[in-house]
Chains A and B, each alone.
Chain A
């Protein structure tokens, strides 16, 4: 009886410690927010330390085996679990933030971006800290969304529901900012002079890496300092002349029916290094300058950078993070019907933005806010001619490389085949279902039946769009193509070793072009869409569950989301694990 009483008292004390520590953490976080509003970096670092100490006490109490035991009790069990998740995951987030804040302070003191970089370890630890913090934030977000807020008591329900919303925004911002920081720090830490080609993609005309190159900037980075060497629109590139594409894989040259010598057509494959090498080759061929790396950015990344540099006014138009995506993807065509003027505006905006960026005139808060508000499906892709640097981009998942490894993962890309800017209105839903087992592939492996479903919608209005936006530059074959109609090449990349059983469009058997890209089978649908029309494309596949060594393929089903203006809706489902026979 006494032992039971002692147990109850002990658990109550530990829970009380957890609750009071969490309350202290919340007070510390509120103080932290005030410090952030005042841009007081020293206060932010101190505040993060206090909050981390408070939440560590809560996490310690939450990990107590006796407290964990109580989490299985009815009624209050869920409350204990929720508090436990918040304290343990939140601790990792705050510790990560503290590390990032400390290294950021030291970098600023060292004059990063303004002074030559004396020590690259600091910049590397800042990058690593950002990666760790992002991992912690994503885990907190996932775990928080696993909590049913409506089942909680003691006022936790509203607090957890509120935390779910705010952490979701934080997770979005973190997932957008972290790759940018990772790429930027890799660019900055290169000791020798490097020339970077920034392809500013127009996601309104879809390509597999995001969009057609609408403008470009040439950046020179050397020992921590960056300068803008040149900028221009795609017209400047086209005037240079065609690209000699002898280095492009021969087996892919005809797959999408593109003219690889044309600067606008080099990124039909999802494997970004192919396109990057083409841009580097083209620049070398026409300018005689070596390109050491290529960065692909679209309107989404530009909106985040816009948050960092603030509003920019060009030719009477002011763009800021709130309007830059719409302006560059839709409004610019209505406002500047003269194509030369439109191209000039794009080029001048790029120049202003990169001039401010390389001068270090950036606002971290604006950057963070713009990233949180970026609802596009854009992300930065980076390539380096230096294999060691490229390995870093691969590690940070920013290289845009298509894996050649076995595994249940698929990709979907869209290439605009109408020569228009209607992909500002293209929306995609992708589902990848891994289904029944015990089916051998004809490609030699034990396998399972799976299905990739792509729902593609053309949400363009039937009228009212500028002629430049609704152009149809593809050859006419008598089909109905009213204003707002579009033509897309939708490519599904199957898992390595997989094969298609059947392909359908809107439930009817259809025809697809086939080929191999990076050891993966690809199926290319040639789809026409009237304004407002949706089509459902299905590839029923049989995919390996054993690899070339006849061993089991590991991993959960994943879809690499296409880089698009409208973030695609991605879902996966599975009937479960398959066992080898």
Chain B
């Protein structure tokens, strides 16, 4: 049953570009999914949402598009056009997820509508990085060093795996994995590469994980002569 619902939702998402919401003057006519739990969502916590401006007695269902680890929740629309509180658990690992609900044309009062909202579960981190070189001249065969700090608020993102990519003209020149230290700091020397003159950018990526809900990237630039 769950798989079937998810298949319906997934199919509905795919048809988003072909179905226009029931938008009309004045503002706020279309069905809408609204949140009571708006932010600061810990993985596994419940979120409370409400679907409104849908015809009464219609049955609506909300589900996470990216995972079937959480059962969809179904409600019947009241005479007020509202579903009342729908409580659904968030996935138990951090990440960015899409809460969706598809409304038929009959229930939406126009074209079919797929409601979807992106929800970040877990915390985000920020990366501050820089790129330095032992020499500004390629003829000196310089060593490039990418260093910086990753924090989430006041807390260091300690002992986490990161990926460093050195790019030139959008092309990846070198990729190296590393790990932040106990203070969230990292420093990686990129050796074994012969550089040509031009602008290099270093991209530092912290993949999403159990705590940090979204992959974050930071770039820094360096011009070699």
Contact = CB atoms under 8 A, between A and B. Distances in A.
Interface of A: 254, 256-260, 262, 264-265, 268, 415-419, 438, 440-447, 473-475, 477-479, 487, 489, 499-503, 509-514, 521, 523, 526, 542, 546, 548-550, 580-581
Contact of B34 (A415, A444, A445, A511): A511
Given A257-B23, A442-B123, A581-B154, A487 B28 contact: yes
Interface residues of B, number: 45
A440 B126 CA distance: 12
A415 B27 contact: yes
Given A446-B154, A550-B149, A475 B38 contact: no
Interface in B47-88: 48-50, 52-53, 56, 79-82
B125 interface: yes
Given A415-B27, A418-B26, 14 more contacts: A257-B29, A259-B25, A442-B213, A444-B216, A445-B153, A477-B79, A499-B40, A500-B38, A512-B34, A513-B33, A514-B34, A526-B34, A548-B126, A581-B154
The SS class assigned to the A binding surface is loop
A478 B38 contact: no
15 contacts: A257-B23, A417-B27, A442-B122, A443-B124, A447-B153, A473-B26, A487-B28, A500-B38, A503-B38, A511-B35, A511-B52, A512-B35, A512-B38, A542-B39, A546-B153
Interface in B68-111: 79-82, 109
A442 B41 contact: yes
Given A489-B27, A526-B28, A526-B32, A550 B40 contact: no
Contacts of A550: 126, 128, 149, 151
Given A442-B39, A550-B126, A265 B25 contact: yes
A437 B213 CA distance: 23
Contacts, number: 146
Contacts of A446: 153-154
B85 to A, nearest CB: 8
A500 B130 CA distance: 32
A256 B153 CA distance: 31
Contact of A254 (B30, B34, B79, B154): B30
A548 B216 CA distance: 12
B80 A440 contact: no
Contacts of A499: 38-40
Question: Which of A257, A259, A447, A511 is the most central at the interface, judged by chain B CB atoms within 10 Å of its CB?
Answer: A511
B128 A549 contact: yes
A77 B47 CA distance: 60
Contact of A475 (B39, B109, B122): B109
Contact of A259 (B23, B81, B149): B23
B158 to A, nearest CB: 15
A440 B128 CA distance: 17
Contacts of A265: 25-27
Given A259-B24, A446-B153, A477-B80, A502 B38 contact: yes
Contacts of B120: 442
B50 A511 contact: yes
B126 A513 contact: no
Contacts of B117: 514
B67 to A, nearest CB: 20
Contacts of A259: 23-25
Contact of B39 (A416, A418, A440, A500): A500
